[in-house]
Structure 1
Amino acid sequence: MNQTDPAEKLLQLLGGKWLAAAVSAAASLGIADALIKSPLTLEGLAEKISAEPDALRRLMRVLLGEDLIILNSESRFELTEMGDLLVSGELRELAIFVGSPFSWDPWSALADSVRTGESAFAKHHGNALFDYLDQHSDHAALYHQAIDEFSKREAEAVAKLYDFSTARRVADIGGGQGRLLVEVLSRWKHLTGVLFERPTATERAAVSFEKAGIADRCEVQIGDFLKELPDKVD
């Protein structure tokens, strides 16, 4: 049985933030979107994403080491199966969110948060998360898109594995852009649904419902689930 050396394991844990930062930077730069159609040389990629070639080379070495890309026999970079997930519409926005300063910086106050019981996010930004998002629409859009991508596979599994046959009206409380309701109502045609959410996510949710063909069976209710909940749901 192979056992990881404790020191090696700890060093991997401590270096995790650097890997997360590298993956987030790759997503922010649009590297996967640039490579998805065809492999590119370092110079070609640098030109396409407007990056400094030598700095990009160092980032690409990290991505190579983590199996997100490969360097083919023609010295061109290609995406791996995992790297494909960093394209737009997959997990790109989640990766960008992880490294975004508004999301990343509060983690530096984690120890203080444990000592005091106060929210690290609120201490750093001066507001709790959802109040902050209400005041910063650009960050709210990134947050909700990231959560939508994060929950996609889970929502698909819930819709497939849970038996909704006896339900008639279901609600997703704080459901963001409505990913769970899209999956559930698309599979279970007899259901109607309610998305109960703050206004920062509901506009995109309405678009998602229309695109999925469930807009006539799903309504959006504006509210704060910390204060109230929708009624008449199963």
Structure 2
Amino acid sequence: MATAPDARQDDRAAPRFPSPLYDLMYGHIHASVLRAVVLHGIPDLLADGPLTAGELAARSGTRVEPLRRVLRLLAARGLFREFPAPPASPESRVSPASPVSHESDDEQRGESVFGLTESGAALRSDVPGSQRAPVLMFTDEMFHRSAAALPGTLRSGEPGFDAAFGVPFFDYLADAPVKSGLFDAAMTSRPGTSNADIAESCPFPASGTVVDVGGGRGGLLREVLVRFPGLTGVLFDRPGTVAGHLLDDEALTGRWRAEDGDFFTAVPRGGDVYLLKNVLHDWPDEDCVRILGVLRAAVEPGTRLLVVDAVLPEDGSAHPAFAVDIIMLMLVRGRERTAGEFRDLLARSGFRLDHVVPTPSLSSVVVAEAV
């Protein structure tokens, strides 16, 4: 019995690591820290290898101590690596070439060396699949103000974005070219939607024309045309979006064209396969039926439609798209859907769902046919 108090004391002294509750509660802090280092270009500064916090601060115009503390948190989250600083030589401490520091001794103590992990390297702006644009978009005021308005959304059912900005999301983008450009760039490279994975998973014919409706800047269409040299393509989206297309490639010369317009009104005719990537999840059911109805009016029976969107599990098991579904709730009137919900939308619009193809990315391919 004499050991019980000591055992209880040991229990009280044991470290308690954050629970899922704490991860959720501090989530906005992690997002803000991530945004700060990306805006200051820290990942790009580490492209050639690790640097001390002092070197990073001098090159980015930041202060050593706050930067070190921010990077320490991101190192704990697996995006950076932190190393002990090597001892400075007497010469380096008094080198005339060294910049004069206006930091206090307090701010310079405990300096560490930081490098990028494999995950953190995706934050660089100069790497294939860079996640810089998605980070800046998902941490933008468009998102955090919409998220802050969620309590009102639960009462009204209206997107928090409308309450925060006074206009619907896509109307706002139409009048905000900088934010619209950020949105388009982020959609081209956002995590979990690898165009290569999707193109490889989609059942494309050996020849014919692929019409990418609401195809953004054409990242997916470009991947499809590169992989399937017998196909030609049509990129269809808003004028400002298709103007920034990614299809200028010698290998694709003569195999594509871009058209602008409104998919609520009309879409290009004559395609053999139609793509809708990350379109239907932006809209409520009635608008989806309108989009699909316009598309059905443009195609012949038997034409294949490939809907690329997250497909939620019917049984409610864990899936990263549940978080994306909340983004839809915050920003627009859309939603992520189950296979059964896609089947119903398609049936109401003159299409028949054939099957669903999972991909290694967040999205699946809902394969349908015009009836």
Q: Same fold (TM over 0.5)?
A: yes
Q: For 1:1-234, what aligned pairs fall within 5 Å after superposition?
A: 8-73=19-84, 74=86, 75-89=112-126, 90-150=130-190, 154-165=194-205, 168-205=208-245, 208-211=246-249, 213-234=251-272
Q: Is the 8 A contact 1:191 1:217 kept in 2?
A: yes
Superposed structure 1 runs of 4+ greater than 4 Å apart = none
Aligned-partner residue type, residue 54 of structure 1? E
Instruction: Look up the SS of the partner of 1:216 in the other structure.
Output: coil
Aligned-partner residue type, residue 160 of structure 1? E
Unpaired runs of at least 5, structure 1: none
Residues 122 and 213 of structure 1: CA distance in aligned 2, closer, same or farther (over 3 Å): farther
Aligned-partner residue type, residue 42 of structure 1? A
Of 147-156 and 40-49, more deviation after overlay is shown by 147-156
Of 158-167 and 96-105, more deviation after overlay is shown by 158-167
With the length of structure 2 as denominator, give the TM-score of the two structures: 0.57
Q: Is the 8 A contact 2:80 2:117 kept in 1?
A: yes
Unpaired runs of at least 5, structure 2: 1-15, 87-111, 273-371
| Counterpart-to-counterpart distance in 1, 2:191 and 2:265 | 24
Percent same amino acid among aligned pairs?
Answer: 31
With the length of structure 1 as denominator, give the TM-score of the two structures: 0.89
Number of equivalent positions: 227
After TM superposition, give the deviation of residue 121 of structure 1 in Å.
Answer: 1.4
Instruction: Look up the SS of the partner of 1:204 in the other structure.
Output: coil
Aligned-partner residue type, residue 122 of structure 1? D
Aligned-partner residue type, residue 88 of structure 1? S
Instruction: Look up the SS of the partner of 1:70 in the other structure.
Output: strand
After TM superposition, give the deviation of residue 224 of structure 1 in Å.
Answer: 2.1
Residues 16 and 215 of structure 1: CA distance in aligned 2, closer, same or farther (over 3 Å): farther
1:69-114 deviation per Cα after TM superposition (whole angstroms, max 9, x unaligned): 1123544211000110100141011111111113322111122123
RMSD: 2.0
